[in-house]
Structure 1
Amino acid sequence: MKDLEIRAAVLEDVPAIVAMLADDPLGARRESPGDLTPYLAALARLSADPNQHLVVAVREDRVVGTLQLTVVPGLSRMGATRSIIEGVRIHSDERGSGLGTQLIEWAVAESRRQDCQLVQLTSDATRTDAHRFYERLGFSASHVGFKLQL
């Protein structure tokens, strides 16, 4: 892919990240691009935690993708460290370009670099296209997920 950089997100990236988070039917209901205050506070928390990696994909000085990778040390699985991929978003005019694959490959490589034994992610049950995408990349639908809204 031409001139693509994957790097840590910075303050100036937040508007573009939030716009991508809000750019689908699910995100439109739960994101608020008009008020960046909570997102800026979240970026400060993420940046202070060495186990959190909020990254952006940048092409021609434009943020075109993002994801969050969380590294979680654990006791189960003989003390295995795992990583969790969250918030994968690709700008609408970059979808289908291979950028999503590059972002996920970055996350898997970074997980290996940090000695993770497992990479996991969740995807909303309604995102069937995303499910096929993750399966093409070698992920398997191995668990049933549960959430409790607080």
Structure 2
Amino acid sequence: MSDSDATFRLATLSDLDALQELYQTHLGLNDQTMDPKTVVDTFKQVLAQPGLSLICAELNSEVIATCTLILVPNITRNCSPYAFIENVVTHKDFRGRGIGEAMMKATIQRAWDAGCYRICLLTGVHNEKAQAFYERVGFKTTKVGYELRAEGFPSRQPN
């Protein structure tokens, strides 16, 4: 089976452990230890949230990449929704093989199919690899992003 055989699907409750592993290991997150019941309850909320799609890339029955697509209803732009893409990560062993790019293209198409007039995402100002990746899949720097962070949640530094 080749990398091009990766499939893309919506996450299910059984994907929680694999997704946590991707986030912790491959995004370099240093999340505090969380209560397992809280994690499961929150994940169930994520899966049930209208307009939110947690996309998984799967190869040989293993989740190797993921991203979150958030569709936002809107009363401007002819009432066309807009989208945010968040939490994009590909397992380090599968980077550079086109899987993340294919996942992003499938996610972008999902937003266009939903009638979105624009798709937004943020990445670290110093994360040149991620910036180049997003430009390869069609994103352009057209705005300046700002954020506020809650105390105890510092911005992630590039690897």
TM-score range, shorter chain: 0.7 to 0.9
- Which residue type is aligned with residue 103 of structure 2? L
Which range is displaced more, 36-45 or 65-74?
A: 36-45
- Which residue type is aligned with residue 45 of structure 2? R
Hey, what does 1:106 align to over in structure 2?
Answer: 106
Count of matched residue positions in the alignment of Structure 1 and Structure 2: 148
- Other structure's SS at 1:143 match: coil
Hey, what does 1:20 align to over in structure 2?
Answer: 22
RMSD after superposition: 1.9
- Which residue type is aligned with residue 29 of structure 2? A
Kindly indicate whether the alpha-carbon contact (under 8 Å) linking 2:52 and 2:70 is maintained by their aligned counterparts in 1. Answer: yes
Gaps of 5+ in 1: none
Deviation, 1:8, is 1.1
Q: 1:33 to 1:114 in 2, by over 3 A?
A: farther
Q: How does 1:33-112 map to 2 (within 5 A)?
A: 36-112=36-112
- Other structure's SS at 2:40 match: helix
Runs of 4+ more than 3 Å apart: 32-39
- Which residue type is aligned with residue 64 of structure 1? I
Deviation, 1:109, is 0.8
Hey, what does 2:146 align to over in structure 1?
Answer: 146
- Other structure's SS at 1:141 match: coil
Q: Which of residues 3, 6, 16 is equivalent to 1:4?
A: 6
Task: Choose between structure 1 and 2 for higher RCO, CA contacts under 8 A separated by at least 6 residues.
Answer: 2
Kindly indicate whether the alpha-carbon contact (under 8 Å) linking 1:7 and 1:55 is maintained by their aligned counterparts in 2. Answer: yes
TM-score by length of 2: 0.83
Gaps of 5+ in 2: 151-159
Q: 1:35 to 1:64 in 2, by over 3 A?
A: farther
Q: Distance in 2 between matches of 1:33 and 1:119?
A: 32
Kindly indicate whether the alpha-carbon contact (under 8 Å) linking 2:55 and 2:107 is maintained by their aligned counterparts in 1. Answer: no
Kindly indicate whether the alpha-carbon contact (under 8 Å) linking 2:4 and 2:99 is maintained by their aligned counterparts in 1. Answer: no
Kindly indicate whether the alpha-carbon contact (under 8 Å) linking 1:19 and 1:33 is maintained by their aligned counterparts in 2. Answer: no
Q: Distance in 2 between matches of 1:95 and 1:37?
A: 32
Q: Distance in 2 between matches of 1:128 and 1:36?
A: 34
